[in-house]
A and B are shown apart, each in its own frame.
Chain A
C-alpha cells in the first residue's frame, strides 16, 4: 500500500539546521509531488511548500523562501526538507504528504506521513 515514513524526532539549538526525510513506498515515486506541512503545538496546519518528484521543481510559501530547501532523491524514493537558521517558533510536527493524483502539479494531500517532531530549544 502507499506509505510515507518519516524520520524520527529531532532536538536542535536555535540557529542550527534540521533535515527531515520522507521515505515513499507502494507507488511510482516520480509520478507524484510531495508537500510539506507543519503544525506547531496546539495550533493549525501550515503549508510550507511542494516539490515535484519528477523534475525537482519546487514552490515554497513566501514565509519560508530562502530558509527551507526541499529535495527528492529518485534513487531512494525519499523526499527531504531542510530548515536552516532554526528558531524556537519552528518547534512543530512536520508532515510530508503526497499529491492525491499523479501529475497533478500540487494536488490534495493524501496520504500523509506520520509526522516528525522538531523541537528547537537552547
Chain B
C-alpha cells in the first residue's frame, strides 16, 4: 500500500498570502496524484488531478506540480473561501490511498 504523507499538518496564513502544501509518496506514483478540498459538513471536492490538471470550476489560483514521489499544491493568493482541509490521493495502484490532510487556517 502506498502511504502519502502531507505536510504541514496545519498551515496558518492570511488572505492574500501564498500557500504551499506538500504531499510525499512512499513510492513513485508517476503523475497519478490528485488534490481535494473539504470544508466542514461538506463532501470533498476535486481540485487537481493527474498532478497538475484543473477540472472545470477550479480557480486558476490553484496549481499542482510534481511527479514521482514529491508533489505540491500551491494557492497563489488566498481567498477567504480557501480555508479548509486539503487531501492528496493516489491512483497509481490499488488500494487507493489518501494523505492525512493539511488544515489551512486563517491567521
Contact = CB atoms under 8 A, between A and B. Distances in A.
B25 to A, nearest CB: 15
Interface residues of B, number: 21
Contact of B43 (A46, A47, A61, A113): A113
Interface string B67-107: 00000000000000000000101010011111111000000
Contact of B36 (A59, A61, A109, A114): A109
Given A108-B46, A113-B43, A44 B101 contact: yes
A44 B100 contact: yes
B91 A106 contact: yes
Contacts of B19: none
Contacts of A114: 43
Interface in B23-45: 34, 36, 38, 43-45
29 contacts: A44-B99, A45-B36, A45-B38, A45-B87, A45-B89, A45-B98, A45-B101, A46-B98, A47-B89, A47-B95, A47-B96, A47-B98, A59-B95, A61-B95, A95-B43, A100-B46, A100-B49, A106-B91, A106-B96, A107-B91, A108-B46, A108-B49, A108-B91, A109-B44, A110-B46, A110-B55, A112-B43, A112-B45, A115-B43
Interface of A: 35, 37, 44-47, 50, 59, 61-62, 95, 97, 100, 106-115
